[in-house]
């Protein structure tokens, strides 16, 4: 059973006040892009995980765990537990989504494993697990996992796991500049809290951006570029100052939108057209401000059996 699953970029990431449980309330506009990991699940004697770089990709996979630290393995165990079967499966992951890059690659693999294992073990005629059950299991694994199942463009609230699809017209053209080495998501949130403490201002309640919703609904790339926001960008830049150069290079090369993707360090640039994206990618490559430069379009479909 092979499942293809997309990366995401956050078009809006508004981080609310710190809650008592240590999480933040978020407004998170997720947008799936055509940069895909592929997970294959094959019946086996026990649970194993192998991780490879996808053909044609340059993603470094050495940091990815192959034990129960891998979110895909945890997803497989969760499905097995629900269905009352042994988690006897060999999972092979081919990664094209940068690792610890702020594009939710681990969550994507978890979503792929949920779908693949459910298809492998559940009854095709009378399935025990519905799509909603898979979304619920996804939310148990991590707040970005349910979105990887549905894909497209969606507004996440709560910890990001309560999803409402957003109306989006047309196709947007993106260029992603990956960085050498990842950034830890908890470390970026901690830096965000530290910055806010130092500033001493009250953190506003996060609200969905009207400008962003209008830009998406009308398919207006320029307006979308102007409406992109990410509250984790400032802390990510403090932890990784070299990203400033990457963002500046993209803006100076004509990107109509530029921001750090999620908790970084991948930088996302919006282009006006497919030709413009190719031009922008070539310039960023030559300027040497990224480890690698990849193009993708959005919105892309969520986890899909292929
Ligand atoms: P997010 O955008 O959701 O914050 P991210 O894209 O920054 O996440 P991931 O690639 O999901 O980061 O990986 C974060 C860490 O999770 C990795 O450093 C790795 O140790 C661990 N991990 C667990 N499972 C996976 C997986 N299948 N692929 C990649 N990393 C994984």
Q: What is the dihedral of CA 131, 136, 139, 140, to 10 degrees?
A: -130
Q: What whole-number distance in Å separates Cα of residue 111 and Cα of residue 306?
A: 14
Q: Which one from 109, 122, 144, 231 is the annotated catalytic residue? A: 144
**Residue 202: pLDDT over 90:** no
| Residues 145, 222 within the same domain | no
Residue ending a domain, choose from 115, 147, 166: 166
Residues 21-40: tens digit of each pLDDT? 888 889 999 999 999 999 99
The closest residue, in CA terms, to atom 12 on ligand 1 is 100
Which of 106, 178, 183, 265 to mutate for ligand 1's pocket (most ligand atoms within 8 Å of CB)?
106
Task: Identify whether residues 182 and 160 lie together within a single domain.
Answer: no
Q: Are residues 16 and 161 in the same domain?
A: yes
Instruction: Evaluate whether residue 135 is within a structural domain.
Output: yes
Do residues 91 and 39 lie in contact, with contact meaning Cβ atoms separated by under 8 Å? yes
Residues 188 and 273 in one domain: yes
Residues 193 and 132 in one domain: no
Whether 134 and 222 map to the same domain: the answer is no
Question: Does residue 304 form part of some domain?
Answer: no
Q: Of 150, 166, 182, which residue sits at a domain end?
A: 166
CATH of residue 272: 3.30.70.890
Torsion, Cα 40 98 260 244, to 10 degrees, reads -170
Q: Are residues 152 and 177 in the same domain?
A: no
Quick one: 75 and 157 in the same domain?
A: yes
Provide the pLDDT confidence category of residue 159 given band limits of 50, 70 and 90: confident
Please report the pLDDT score of residue 201 as a whole number: 82
Is 144 among the catalytic positions? Answer: yes
**Interatomic CA distance for residues 243 and 259, integer angstroms:** 10
Confidence class for position 49, pLDDT limits 50, 70, 90: very high
305 within domain boundaries = no
Indicate whether 260 pLDDT > 80.
yes
Q: Which atom of ligand 1 is nearest to the CA of 70?
A: 24
| Predicted confidence (pLDDT) at residue 275 exceeds the cutoff of 80 | yes
Q: Which of 8, 2, 9 is nearest to 93 (CA)?
A: 2
23 and 131 in a single domain? The answer is yes
Tell me which of 8, 37, 95, 109 is the catalytic residue: 8
Residues near 139 by beta carbon (within 8 Å), at least 6 away in sequence: 145, 146, 161
pLDDT at 21: 87
Q: Whose CA is nearest to atom 16 of ligand 1?
A: 106
**148 shares a domain with 8:** yes
- Mark whether 107 and 255 lie in a shared domain: no
Q: Is residue 278 part of a domain?
A: yes
Given this model, what pLDDT does residue 246 score? 96
What rounded mean pLDDT belongs to the chain?
Answer: 95
Distances (CA, A) of 8 to 37, 58, 132, 261: 12, 18, 21, 8
- 201 phi-psi bin (left φ>0, alpha ψ -120 to 50, beta other): beta
Q: Does 229 map to a domain?
A: yes
Atom of ligand 1 nearest to the CA of 95: 28
Residue 38 lies in domain: 2-166
Q: Is residue 238 included in any domain, yes or no?
A: yes
In a domain, residue 306? The reply is no
248 is a domain residue:
yes
Is residue 183 scored above 80 in pLDDT? yes
CA of 97 to the centre of ligand 1 (A): 10
Pocket probe for ligand 1: among 11, 38, 105, the residue whose CB has the most ligand atoms within 8 Å is 105
Look up the CATH number of the domain holding residue 35: 3.30.230.10
Q: Which of 146, 154, 139, 175 is nearest to 296 (CA)?
A: 175
Residue ending a domain, among 166, 182, 201, is 166
Is there a single domain that holds both residue 281 and residue 228?
A: yes
Q: State if residue 265 touches ligand 1 by the CB under 6 angstroms criterion.
A: no
The tally of domains found in the chain comes to: 2
Atom of ligand 1 lying closest to residue 262 CA: 2
């Amino acid at each position: 059973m092979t499942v293809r699953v997309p990366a995401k970029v956050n078009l809006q990431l508004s981080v609310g006040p710190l809650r008592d449980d240590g999480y933040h309330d978020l407004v998170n506009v997720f947008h799936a892009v055509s940069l895909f990991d592929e997970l294959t699940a094959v019946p086996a004697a026990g649970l194993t995980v192998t991780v490879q770089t996808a053909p044609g990709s340059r993603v470094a996979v050495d940091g990815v765990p192959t034990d129960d630290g891998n979110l895909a393995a945890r997803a497989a165990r969760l499905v097995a537990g629900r269905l009352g079967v042994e988690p006897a499966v060999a999972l092979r992951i081919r990664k094209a989504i940068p690792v610890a890059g702020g594009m939710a690659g681990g969550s994507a693999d978890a979503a792929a494993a949920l779908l693949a294992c459910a298809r492998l073990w559940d009854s095709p005629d009378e399935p025990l697990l519905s799509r909603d059950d898979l979304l619920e299991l996804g939310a148990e694994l991590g707040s970005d996992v349910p979105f990887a199942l549905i894909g497209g463009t969606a507004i996440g609230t709560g910890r990001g796991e309560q999803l409402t699809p957003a109306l989006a017209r047309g196709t947007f053209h993106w260029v992603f500049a990956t960085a050498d080495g990842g950034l830890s998501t908890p470390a970026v949130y901690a830096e965000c809290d530290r910055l806010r403490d130092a500033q001493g201002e009250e953190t506003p309640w996060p609200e969905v951006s009207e400008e962003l919703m209008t830009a998406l609904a009308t398919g207006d790339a320029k307006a979308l570029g102007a409406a992109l926001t990410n509250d984790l960008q400032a802390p990510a830049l403090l932890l990784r100052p070299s990203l400033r150069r990457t963002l500046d290079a993209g803006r100076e090369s004509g990107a109509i939108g530029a921001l750090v993707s999620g908790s970084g360090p991948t930088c996302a640039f919006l282009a006006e057209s497919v030709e413009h994206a190719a031009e922008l990618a070539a310039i960023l490559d030559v300027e040497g401000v990224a480890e690698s430069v990849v193009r993708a379009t959005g919105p892309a479909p969520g986890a899909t059996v292929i």
